[in-house]
Amino acid sequence: MHIKKAGDISSSDITPRGLYLRRREFLASLVTLPVTSKMVTTTDDLTSKNAITSYTNYYEFGSEKGDAVRNGAAFKLSPWSVTVEGQCGKPGTYTLEDILKPHPLEERVYRMRCVEGWSMVIPWDGFPLGNLLKRFEPNAKAKFVEFTTANRPSEMPGIRRRVLNYPYVEALRMDEAMHPLAILATGLYGESLLTPNGAPLRLVVPWKYGFKGAKSIVKIRFVERQPLNTWQEANNVYYGFYANVNPDVPTPSYSQATERRIGEFFMRRTLPFNGYGDQVAALYAGMDPRKLY
């Protein structure tokens, strides 16, 4: 796998003018809410805004880190709606405004780690996923919640290459989804998310590998059985359903024991649950952590 250092990002990876103009348009159309609280979970330095917004994984736009910036300008962020289905009392189609309105924005500074071995510290703006899910009144049969993301081949040129099956699907067990660290993000560094980071709405689950963080969510479905997530479908030896960050479980071709923080030179040791074990380990009591890769 090709891993670029933040210092290697070329000027062609930096936001082109078209996207910049679209962003102004988008910001103008967005109902902006003030950030009401701040949770900082690490003393590590923030990763630069430039690196976070240009060094992205988003296969619908291509499999290179700069592809979502290069190929994302045609992606329409508005109008946006989210369909809610399955085992719940309030299924339906909700506009993005309906989804966001009752939830004050919080800033959450989280360590994030990609399964490929790089990591970042990102100041997200978002709100607890569980607060939104409760509004849809999941019933006792809702054991998992599945997220489906935008699948628009005409606006997402990477889809044609079929590196993955689309739409991109991710899912969490209900208790994971209700955990207060799991958020839906709408911004970072105090500004609305742009397409490459998953605008207008994406999942952030900081104790899991980055691929659990589905971007551009269009559907939420409450289900009884564990869904097949896209990366597990692609290769279940490398990418499990749980995908908890675990330095003790290597992939068949590389270790997960260390990581490169984007912007830093030396490798860091990877922490179990990405350092959030004191808060989330209890979710997995009695389960073999080696199987939760």
Ligand X SMILES: Nc1nc2c(c(=O)[nH]1)N[C@H]1C(S)=C(S)[C@@H](COP(=O)(O)O)O[C@H]1N2
DSSP letters spanning 166-202: SS-EEEEEHHHHTSTT-EEEEEETTEEPPGGGTTT-E
Q: Which of residues 46-65 bind Mo ion (CB under 5 A)?
A: 57
Total binding residues for ligand X by CB under 6 A? 16
Among residues 54, 56, 71, 195, the one that binds ligand X under rule CB under 6 A: 56
Contact call for residues 152 and 75 (beta carbons, < 8 A): yes
List Cβ<8 Å contacts ≥24 apart for 154-157: 154/74, 155/74, 155/75, 155/76, 156/60, 156/61, 156/71, 156/75, 157/61, 157/62, 157/71
The kind and range of the H/E element at 126 are strand 118-128
184 or 214: whose CB is closer to Mo ion? 214
Q: Which stretch binds Mo ion (CB under 5 A): 1-9, 75-83, 109-117, 125-133?
A: 109-117
Total binding residues for Mo ion by CB under 5 A? 5
**Binding of ligand X by 178 (CB under 6 A):** no
Instruction: Report the nearest approach of Mo ion to the CB of residue 206 (Å).
Output: 13
Among residues 52, 99, 114, 120, the one that binds Mo ion under rule CB under 5 A: 114
Phi then psi dihedrals of residue 153, to 5 deg: -55, -35
Partner interacting with residue 156 (select from ligand X, Mo ion, none; CB below 5-8 Å by kind): none
Among residues 126, 198, 227, 275, the one that binds ligand X under rule CB under 6 A: 198
In the complex, the residues that contact ligand X under the rule CB under 6 A are 56-60, 114, 149, 168, 197-198, 210-211, 213-216
